[in-house]
Chain A
Amino acid sequence: MTNDKIALQLQPKEYKSAVKPVWCPGCGDFGVLGALTKALAGLKIQPEDAAVISGIGCSSRMPTYLSTYGFHGVHGRALAVATGLKVARPDLTVIATGGDGDGFSIGGNHFLHTCRRNPDLTYIVMDNQVYGMTKGQASPTTEPNWERAKLTPSGTGINPFQPLAIALASGANFIARCSSSDSNGTARVLMEAIRHPGFSMVQVLSPCVTFRPEQREWKRSLIPAPEDMQRTPDPAEAARLLMTDEGVYTGILYVGDRPVYQPKLKSEIDNIATLDEEFRL
């Protein structure tokens, strides 16, 4: 379907749909939306050749706001939908988007196995350490002593999930952390993530101004990782960084070259009646 098509240079704006986001003003997800449109424009991917897949949550509304193909499914299953689509349609650029609850709690198993399987997908997790759409419960990445959730009024008492360390251990092929307030920097990372073969995991720290207004401070606390620590191909080095940086380093933190999961879809037989033979007595 994409043969003979001339890649037009479109403006980032042209990757936005006519639907206006329901996100709260000030939400970090606006920055990610902007960054994603810039990355798609930068890569000259035609809107009809990209599909953005999501589950449930504030950030999972992303596909509706884009002019690409989109799929807004059920809670936690974005990566499964994205994997099925990419395996069946390797010609498409497939991007999954979602939040920390969707990806690491209800969808945790798919996260592990998609890292492990390594299909050529880009996964953008807008991490705000809270469930926004259900009114501010603690998520897997919430700190244990956050006491403002009515569901866990004394804090969760549970250590937060370390998405990037787990992605690395599970086999993700490209790992990055961004800040939504740095929309241009995020765009640059996303462009590289989309271009990199295999499963690219991009955590974007994206403040929830409604339930975690203190996260507006992230734009000051997040700092680019030292140049010499970025883009390491060595998982051990990346692991040390991810386990010791307390989540404040942004940038491309691991670039691997594991083989990509993409079965060949090429018919070996001309006539389907050939299949009859194995049943014939």
Chain B
Amino acid sequence: MRFQSLSIALTGSGGSGVMTTGSLLLEAAGRAGWYGFMARSAGPQIRGGEAAAVLRIASEPIESHDDSFDLVLAIDPGSLARFLAEIPLRSDSLIISDAEGGRRGDSLPDTPARVIDLPMKGLAKTVQAGRPNMIALGALTKVIGLPLAPMLEILEKILKSKGADALESSWNCVQEGYEAGAELPVLDGPLVNTDISADRWSLTGNEAAGLGAVRGGIRFVAGYPITPATELLEWLAGTLPKVGGVLVQAEDELASVNQIIGASFGGTPALTATSGPGLALMTESIGLSVCSEVPVVIIDVMRCGPSTGIATKSEQSDLDIALHGLHGDAPHLVLAPTSVTDCLFTTQWSVHLAESLQTAAIVLSDQSLGQSKAIVERPADVSFMARRVVPETFAGEYQRYAISESGVSPMSIPGQAGGQYTADGLEHNQAGTPSSLPEDHYSQLEKRQRKIHAFEFGQHWADLEGSGETAVITWGATTGPVREALSRLRERGENVRLIAVRLLSPERPADMAAALAGVKRLLVVEQSHSRQFHRYLRSAYDLHPAVKVFNRPGPLPFRPNEIIEQLHNWGQAD
């Protein structure tokens, strides 16, 4: 079966409900047997601003946007202009809009695409309590060849809480729009309706990370609201009480990180989620976690920086602070999920690693993963569970920071008689007593480094795919477009390797050397203006191949054809 996909953008403003429309379309498509995902983009207003739901529906699981869009539905013509940079269009793309949908005099921006008018506002008026976005949903259902039955099922599920009247008027609108859609062109290459017997899920990266945390054993979370991490905290707030855990809304990020350190000191695996500004505030105490060897997990859902930056849009520019933001020599873990689904795996693994190694783990997700919703196969169960080495008996004087071969020392839990000690952010001796002696400093630094560097992380340190003398190395959300680009090349018979690094710290020199064996050209792809990932690779690894960097800041995502172009133009345009 040939891979096919359809990219659709819905834009609107002033509370037009495009996000709901997009979600309904995505989930109905999922129920009909397709895969897909939907990203969100929004203007700065809290309510009523411009918003875009950016969808891709496909015959197979996908992790990337396509090169361009097949279909745009602008509920009001004026709303498209703001997102034009994020929605590349072709001459055969189709824009459906409503000339009467917005403010008088608003018009669509200039694009190469065909435009067809659909009087969504007018049609909505013919239905009791009708809304233009539901007319749009019906029309889209028809245009992309989606059956009505799964749409009704999803409407019933999503609108259940709104009452029977709301459901009825929405359903009437969808049917009205569906009929009107019959007059519209059917998009070329209708999608293949795949096997729908699979256990299919719909979830966002933030939810996936939350689920990974809970599956990994996290039972205490403290957090302070910050876009785009808030939804992750909100999901955990609702879920933790079900599993005997709790989320505390803290007074600031300094409190969040210290509360989780306190809970973890008490034996409860603990986590916080934030974004760049919050991570910056937390760094002092992440160092405390490292020095006192109290495990914690910090998820940073990255957004454009520096400072407040662009809070609603994605970027991979917190790599530097995550790797190097702690003062002193503070070895810790930095990991990054490579897809929406992988947010689950990587978070769960991070909990396991932090607990096993008694240190801090920073997980670098980003807005594009966190706030994107994907239709995927049920993520596989992972056996990683929080696993802290706790002493069972206390013979003689307990030494919390005993020098051990692995560097990990058994950590007693308050309540254990004979295990009393004072965890300390001051340099200490093996018993935990503050010490300024050089030998204590050396041996404790060495122990804290050894436990992380000597640990056998196994195959999950990176996703390695393909073969050949050319490789693309990337991390985080840019893995999606890179992976799709390489898969397209593979279909054409061109073999290019993928190295998507999941474990960014500690570095894995032997694993990297093996991954790069035989590679002559290495393309670095990253979403940061100052090439943070490239600098990291240069400092952490010996890079023997010729290296080229394809970087740009957020918020525009990478598209597969851009990566192919970079590979094909190697040496020509530089």
Contacts and interface: CB of A to CB of B under 8 A. Distances in A.
A7 interface: no
B373 to A, nearest CB: 10
B418 A48 contact: yes
B58 to A, nearest CB: 15
22 contacts: A47-B417, A48-B415, A53-B262, A69-B414, A70-B422, A72-B434, A74-B425, A80-B254, A80-B258, A84-B260, A84-B264, A88-B220, A89-B414, A92-B266, A92-B415, A110-B251, A265-B244, A265-B246, A268-B242, A275-B239, A275-B243, A281-B200
Given A49-B414, A71-B265, A89-B268, A84 B222 contact: yes
A281 to B, nearest CB: 5
A87 interface: yes
Contacts of B423: 70-73
B426 A72 contact: yes
B258 A73 contact: yes
Contacts of A110: 251, 254-255
B202 interface: yes
Interface string A152-166: 000000000000000
B93 to A, nearest CB: 28
A64 B422 contact: yes
B529 interface: no
A141 interface: no
A70 B294 CA distance: 13
Contacts of A1: 413-416
A72 to B, nearest CB: 5
B174 interface: no
B243 A269 contact: yes
Contacts of B414: 1, 48-49, 51, 69, 85, 89, 92
Interface string B507-522: 0000000000000000
B250 interface: yes
Interface string A73-99: 110110011111111110110000000
A76 B258 CA distance: 10
A267 B413 contact: no
Given A70-B423, A72-B423, A276 B415 contact: no
A129 interface: no
B425 A85 contact: no
Interface in B224-262: 239, 241-246, 248, 250-252, 254-262
Nearest to B258: A80
A272 B199 CA distance: 17
B161 to A, nearest CB: 14
Given A72-B426, A279-B203, A281-B200, A87 B242 contact: no
B244 A73 contact: no
Contacts of B251: 109-110, 112-113
Interface string A1-34: 1100000000000000101000000000000000
A263 interface: yes
B560 interface: no
A281 B31 CA distance: 6
- Identify which of B251, B263, B417 gathers the most chain A CB atoms within 10 Å of its CB: B251
A83 B262 contact: yes
Contacts of A70: 420-423
B285 interface: yes
A64 B263 contact: no
A74 B246 CA distance: 24
A279 B215 CA distance: 14
Given A73-B285, A74-B288, A265 B245 contact: yes
A279 B266 contact: no
Given A84-B259, A281-B31, 10 more contacts: A19-B433, A48-B416, A61-B434, A69-B419, A73-B261, A76-B254, A77-B258, A87-B220, A92-B415, A113-B250
B214 A84 contact: no
Contacts of A83: 248, 255, 259, 262
B336 interface: no
Contacts of A66: 422
A272 B419 contact: no
Nearest to A68: B420
B200 A280 contact: yes
A267 B243 contact: yes
A279 B201 contact: yes
A67 interface: yes
Q: Which 7 A-B pairs have the closest CB atoms?
A: A84-B262, A70-B422, A84-B259, A1-B415, A80-B258, A267-B244, A88-B263
Given A87-B220, A88-B246, A89-B268, A71 B214 contact: no
B410 interface: no
A264 B259 CA distance: 17
Interface string B539-561: 00000000000000000000000
B55 interface: no
A272 B243 contact: yes
Nearest to A111: B251
B538 interface: no
Contact of A281 (B222, B255, B375, B434): B375
B262 A88 contact: yes
A37 interface: no
- Identify which of A80, A84, A264 gathers the most chain B CB atoms within 10 Å of its CB: A84
